Amino acid sequence: MGCVKWTLIFTIVILPLSAVVVQWMNYVDIENYYKDKRIIITGASEGIGKDLAIRLSQLGARLVIAARTENKLKDTQKLCQKYSQDVFVVRADVGKEEDNKLLVSEAVKHLGGIDILIINAAICNISWFVDTENPGKLYEDTFRINTLQGVYLTQYSLPYLRESHGTIVAISSIVGIMNAPSMAAYVASKHALQGHFGSLSLEFEKRNENISVTIMPLSIVYTENLLKQSRDLKPGGFFEPGITPVDCADRITRGIPLKRVYHYITWDAFIITHLYFLCPACVDHLIAMAM
């Protein structure tokens, strides 16, 4: 009963008060903040990465955008160049170390340095572990893109981020904090990504590196890929269970300048992850029922 009582108090009293305070603290003049900022974005050929590139170009940022599909990437570039000519394309498979090294090298060549590194590219295969023919291979592929991308890009960007006192942004998921069935490889990779960047943030602080780390655990974002898999889903509803990629991109741009280690762009992500810390078994049960 005690657990239920404190969970109700947390949900009814503390969270709404927190919402008011956070909303008040979230204002930043992004029009000036992003002017001439040198930014790398991975996974920019579609979905969140594409809309994020467009939004940042509207705000005057200088971009290097990367993905595996070059023709889609060039489509993104054309849309961005309506607002800014400083948008450069690098075809890269971020699951490969050499491609990450090339991406950083090309960014420095085109932009002269790096102010913000946005690690956005990710893959997610809906697959029950017990039914997967070769789960080891699935895990290797998923970790290379979802986790090692962040390791390699940080490694090669570090000298330039030190120089600019820059920011690393890891676009993650609430399942990097919680659990979910039928996507164990994705969940494990996001746990690892958040563990890596959370620890890195402490290292930077301890060593006075002047490099900030922001982890953004997203909930449901209605990308084309998600809508193809779940045709009945529609954005909107109680506590924002689901937003569009355009809205997501705008909220990400507003969150980056705040330089918080963890930044939640929707209330459902904030609420469910904090409830998880209070009563993980309850949230696990609700997720299992929902899926």
Residues annotated as catalytic (active site), given as ranges: 186
User: How many other CB atoms sit within 10 Å of the CB of residue 62?
Assistant: 23
CB-neighbour burial class of residue 197 (10 A; exposed 0-12, middle 13-18, buried 19+): buried
Measured in whole angstroms, how far is the alpha carbon of residue 5 from the centre of its chain?
Answer: 33
| Angstrom distances, CA of residue 191 to CA of 7, 69, 72, 136 | 24, 27, 29, 17
In the chain, which ranges are continuous DSSP H helix?
Answer: 2-9, 15-25, 30-33, 47-58, 70-80, 97-111, 135-143, 149-164, 184-206, 224-229, 245-255, 267-278, 280-290
CA 194 distance to own-chain centroid: 10
Strands 38-42, 116-119: pairing is: parallel
